[in-house]
Structure 1
Amino acid sequence: MTDITTHQNHELQICPQRYEQLLAIRDALGARTLNETVSQLVRHEIDRGTIPDEIPGVLIDRDGSDVYIGFDDDHPVKLKAEHASSLAEAILNMLEGRTTGVELNLKGAFIVSRERAGIRVQFEIAAQEGKVFARDIAFDIAHMIAAAARP
């Protein structure tokens, strides 16, 4: 698994006027960064149905009482819905500062921890180093997991 990386797409070029408009949108939305602004715009388009509610490289699927979660090309991990719900809660707790450091869940066999500017999610049963997500992506993942875990 990989850490947070900044994808530099050299095809994405914004003229100065659009950049100024993005700054105005950022200020109007109360966002701290342009990345946060883009995240809010993406969420808005998901809510409108313009794009699907999914994150590239992240698989979250429910089958009966199990929730499957996979990152990148790794084999998805199967969690009971209650453990998936606990994972979503652990991610949100870390993001909102209710938990600091590391949260270990032995029943669900996962670890959630802060790492630099992001959140690391690791599944002990998969013996993988885990994946670090930017905070806004971790927030979306937590909500997607929670939705999949609901009865």
Structure 2
Amino acid sequence: MKNILYVLSAIIVGALFAFIINSYNDQTQKISADSNITCDLNTQNCNISYKGKEIGFSFYPRPLEAMVPLTLKVEELNGQYKNLNARIYGLNMDMGTIKANLENRGNLYIGTVVLSSCVVEVMNYRLELYDGDKQLGIYIDFNLKS
């Protein structure tokens, strides 16, 4: 009787584990498919269109590395935001939110960020701009390869 209970328990635990893994993979694929990566911030400056303007994003040094301070530059916002900050979060894995305050330098906003390290081979991130706590609707997606 004990052996049957052990076998039944093992089958239930195995099925539960398979269900959890499958659910995680489905969620990861859906999130990754929603990303909008059209330019590689690892190798070049990238622009997005926003309200008829081309907003430029760049990181230095390149290629991007996790756990290394990176300089983030955002161009063509014409100094119109008083408390601009960037929030960076994972699209294919929850890594928390990395927040960086950006300093206004005329037509350029600049700040320093440190991207989180991850066990996946390619981490998909979204960099989104806020004025204080107000979401601006300006964002760009990018990859970080481990």
Q: TM-score, normalised by structure 1?
A: 0.31
In our comparison, the structure showing a higher alpha carbon Rg is 2
**TM-score where L is the length of structure 2:** 0.31
Q: Which has the higher strand share?
A: 2
